[in-house]
A and B are shown apart, each in its own frame.
Chain A
């Protein structure tokens, strides 16, 4: 057991944890922040993606003790209560989610992507989220959602959210 202090969504938590406790289990089961999901056991799916000191990481592949002294942001901390982050708005407006299971991880990954590259091309978005699997949406609308969020963050005119048909 080890005592660790992790700041999660702006609140510091000091707790005794087992050395082997995965960060994702710390988030989900110790702090009861269940927006971060588990979709695999091989760091492949990205459903557990969070920000660790501002960098997106798969929290199933980090031990809680490794996050000692660091800051974490989860989907629950993406926007102040009562408001939506541009990504949350983008996903809703563009039908960027179906079952919602991959969505928090996808948004956390995209938030770092937009931080580093505020105006990504479609290709850069697709490669940028290629560590996150979605089984429902076929990704078209996830790309649109991230483009929408990028425009919103840049303060530009928002792209249409109407579906386009051939």
Chain B
């Protein structure tokens, strides 16, 4: 049971308060970007390349311009006049806004058509004739490194190959020494394929430039409105659009999952056009454009190795990664971490030695990659460690649950310094796994499996016991384009005791309007119902880095606590003044201060707030408002123990997830209903890449599944009935002990499912299968190895 310190009327932490934001969404009154309609608004559509790699010989816009309603066609040459044809990526690489001579991937933006209606813009797009000279694209990241590979980025001065960066952590020599002396070494080659977040709302914007005031209002689907404002100012400052003249508004967002962090060319073109014509310009991409051109996630080729004793004590791990970034590194990672937080790959296990190295390359694929509901490359890391751990269990013939329990970091070892330098804050991995094993009856399932195997039936049980790393991050190490990754909260309590609170983050469905209100309710005793939460408007909200990587609760949530505590300190001073006692003689319970030993002498928070405006002590500043910018001292380390049971048809190899139990530890829980909802959703986005989703390209660079007809987002039928629970080990450094949860299940679920399927197929000697694991892939693997 989750204990609550506040009454239901206050609804602080631990209450499953129904969401405040739902009223508008269930009545069709949400305000998403495509719902915005401004007077005189123009519509933009984008001409895209049919080729993955080609020279542009000519763009003929004549026919398009004759179409009624078409106002303009913008090409790279037009933008070049304003030096707006290239833009920086978040990883300090460069990306074309519109090309002047070469296209680098299929579906790349080639020209933009501006028209008075959506339909006229589409007509114009169809009428633009582009002549290309196709070239043979580089689609295989390994071939990108060959000496005879064409240099994809000759625009970059001095670039003589397709290598982007090398990154490593740990000691190569020490790790090699452990490996060469170990009893057992296991190794698997894995591909974590390219996938797409496919939030149900695509990306888009309305750029509204006012020539008279030299002011831009940019309504856009962004998870990080403040950072975007700064980026716009950096890109467009030279044409006079400086930061105080830019207002970014992120309205309701129909799902983000990392895909709405980057700046896409469409946004920049819309701004440029609005700036030139002085009218609002709307750009809403369609789904196929979204899947084909917007940032992908994953696409890591990983060699994972584990060294152990013959009894199964893990001694060391080693990981080698080739990252396919497409034609530019447009990832969304903190600046110092081109590989994100991959170095959490040592997992939940206690051993001293690890080495990771990664190389990133250019190919003729769309740029990226973003998170897909995970903290900076943690999913790839967790998949690698959890798969290779199972591989070890198989090798030495030990139960994978037992192997994990024997190797776990113990709860009294926290804070725990991981081999690659992270300080894990808290956890109780044994408790989590035992809870999951009991819930699913692990021993019973293993016994059932023995019986089924005798009958030739394929049943598998898979475990994933993962540690996440979220809440970026401490300013000493974490920044994006130099801006430190703090986040912020501003609380204004009005004279009648009702409040508005604003944040630097931006909900995309996480329920911030409810959970932030609950955090403040917990700290101040003002009912959450009376705390209005606002985000997403850079003119009103304090500066922050936005919502992704499960950072909102660890950073902005903490900022809300700190701001509220400043206000509670002020309330205490006012109470002492009104009750004519010293501050030390007062005690706090949610919603009021009373005199120790004389509880009848008390003042409610509402009375104290009112006094702050009407009867405050002389010398004290009037009003009841506070702001806090929270710089987290460490990251937070949510963890989980997931167990999945699959049944596989022994002839068709159809995979049925029979049960899936997820036990999560996200520290103290703000709203159990919302946490559970986040886990459900994350699990479905975990089964998605495990069994269904992959962006597939052919050798000619064509995407083979660039629409929702053939990119299989799980429906309610594919998605199992999830069973969830929790253990709670509060984060010791977070002011309310919370850790963040939205992404844990997406990170933890894929290896649980893959391990279950491989476990089922282990009767055929199968030790690994790359995700997504489909009936066809199983059939092919067994056929190719002569097993069937």
The interface of chain A, by Cβ under 8 A from chain B, is 18, 20-21, 25, 28-29, 32-42, 44-45, 47, 74-76, 78, 84, 88, 91-93, 95, 97-104, 107, 122, 125-127, 129-143, 162-163, 165-166
Contact = CB atoms under 8 A, between A and B. Distances in A.
Given A39-B287, A93-B18, A102-B200, A138 B28 contact: no
B715 A136 contact: no
Interface in B490-521: 508-511
A100 B252 contact: yes
Contacts of B768: none
A99 B508 contact: yes
Contacts of A139: 680, 684, 715-716, 719
B147 to A, nearest CB: 42
B22 interface: yes
B50 interface: no
A149 B439 CA distance: 29
B34 interface: yes
Contacts of B707: 40-42, 44
Nearest to B36: A34
B680 A141 contact: yes
Interface stretch (B608-616, B671-679, B769-777): B671-679
Contacts of A34: 28, 31-32, 34-35
Interface in B677-704: 677-685
Contact of A101 (B21, B32, B715): B32
A40 B257 contact: no
Interface string B8-21: 00000000101101
A41 B439 contact: no
Contacts of B255: 98-99, 101, 135-136
B201 A129 contact: no
Contacts of B18: 92-93, 95
Contacts of B286: 40-41
A39 B682 contact: no
Contacts of A28: 34-35
A53 to B, nearest CB: 20
B117 to A, nearest CB: 9
B286 to A, nearest CB: 4
B708 A126 contact: no
A39 B257 CA distance: 15
28 contacts: A29-B37, A29-B118, A33-B28, A37-B34, A37-B200, A39-B202, A39-B254, A42-B709, A47-B200, A92-B22, A92-B26, A97-B22, A97-B509, A99-B254, A99-B508, A100-B21, A100-B24, A101-B30, A129-B715, A129-B716, A131-B715, A133-B708, A135-B199, A136-B200, A136-B255, A136-B509, A143-B716, A163-B672
B252 A41 contact: no
Interface in B134-167: none
B661 interface: yes
B253 interface: yes
A122 B708 CA distance: 25
Contact of A35 (B28, B713, B715, B717): B28
Contact of A92 (B23, B254, B672): B23
A166 B641 CA distance: 13
Contacts of B709: 42, 44
B762 interface: no
B596 interface: no
Given A133-B715, A162-B673, 9 more contacts: A44-B287, A44-B709, A98-B509, A98-B678, A133-B708, A135-B713, A136-B200, A139-B684, A163-B672
Contacts of B652: none
B715 A95 contact: no
Contacts, number: 203
A162 to B, nearest CB: 6
A134 B254 CA distance: 10
A110 to B, nearest CB: 11
B288 interface: yes
Contacts of A98: 255, 509-511, 677-678, 681
Contact of B673 (A29, A44, A95): A95
A156 B663 CA distance: 33
Contacts of B722: 138, 140
Nearest to A85: B26
B301 interface: no
Given A42-B288, A45-B287, A130-B716, A137 B681 contact: yes
Contacts of A125: 716
A97 B145 CA distance: 45
Interface string B706-747: 011100010111010111111000000000000000000000
Given A135-B713, A136-B681, A95 B19 contact: yes
Given A42-B707, A138-B682, A91 B22 contact: yes
Contacts of A35: 27-30
B677 A100 contact: no
A137 B677 contact: yes
B716 A100 contact: no
A135 B723 CA distance: 18
Contact of A40 (B682, B708, B724): B708
A57 B201 CA distance: 19
Nearest to B30: A100
B22 A134 contact: no
B562 interface: no
B676 A135 contact: no
A93 B16 CA distance: 10
A34 B34 CA distance: 8
A141 B677 contact: yes
Contacts of A165: 672, 676, 724-726
A101 B201 contact: yes
A32 B29 CA distance: 11
Residue among A122, A125, A134 having the largest count of chain B Cβ atoms under 10 Å: A134
B26 A91 contact: yes
Given A93-B18, A130-B715, A76 B676 contact: no
